[in-house]
């Protein structure tokens, strides 16, 4: 799949956040929000760093965006398929498009999102697949905690 420049930019911002989380000893899941070709917010999973049950990458990016009345033109990028909590938040705020870097390590809720009218694209990005695979192998207990196992 050939990515356009806007998709490359949104993905790069999400991957940079995932790397930041990994460097901090956390779970390497990052997310970004784009409006047109501008990254308006980004965040990474901070469950370990902040002792939070809900600060997943998507939630951190939405939180970083601050108050916003309308998400109708926003695209959310995430390095890993969203869990049900994050998918529900995407639906609740009316985010119409989600670009998922990978869903090999966690097959999230793409069908739920699609059933609610969200356009979902899965990129199967090799870098994101390998980053998450390596993390899960090295830290299975943190991964199990993150996904609720």
In tens, the pLDDT along 15-27 reads 999 999 999 999 9
Write the CB contacts of 135 (distance below 8 Å, at least 6 apart in sequence). Answer: 22, 27, 28, 142, 143
Predicted pLDDT at 1:
72
Residue 58: active-site member: yes
Beta bridge partners of 78: 31, 100
How confident is the model over 40-94, as pLDDT tens digits?
999 999 999 999 989 999 999 999 999 999 999 999 999 999 999 999 999 999 9
Instruction: Tell whether domain 5-147 is in CATH 3.40.140.10.
Output: yes
Q: 102 φ, ψ to 5°?
A: -160, 150
Catalytic pick from 58, 102, 111, 127? 58
pLDDT at residue 146 tops 80 = no
What is the model's pTM?
A: 0.94
Give the start-to-end residue ranges of the domains of the chain.
5-147
Q: What is the DSSP string of 97-125?
A: EEEES--SS---SHHHHHHTT-EEEE---
Predicted pLDDT at 147:
67
3-class SS of residue 83: coil
């Amino acid at each position: 799949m050939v990515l356009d420049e806007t998709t490359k930019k949104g993905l790069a911002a999400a991957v940079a956040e995932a790397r930041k989380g990994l460097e901090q000893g956390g779970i390497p899941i990052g997310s970004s929000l784009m409006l047109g070709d501008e990254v308006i917010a980004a965040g990474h999973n901070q469950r370990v760093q902040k002792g939070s049950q809900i600060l997943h990458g998507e939630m951190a990016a939405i939180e970083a965006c601050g108050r916003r009345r309308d998400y109708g033109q926003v695209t959310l990028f995430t390095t890993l398929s969203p869990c049900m909590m994050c998918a529900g938040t995407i639906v609740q705020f009316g985010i119409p498009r989600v670009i998922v870097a990978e869903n090999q390590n966690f097959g999230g809720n793409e069908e739920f999102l699609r059933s609610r009218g969200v356009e979902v694209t899965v990129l199967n990005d090799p870098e994101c697949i390998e980053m998450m695979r390596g993390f899960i192998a090295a830290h299975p207990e943190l991964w199990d905690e993150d996904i609720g196992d």
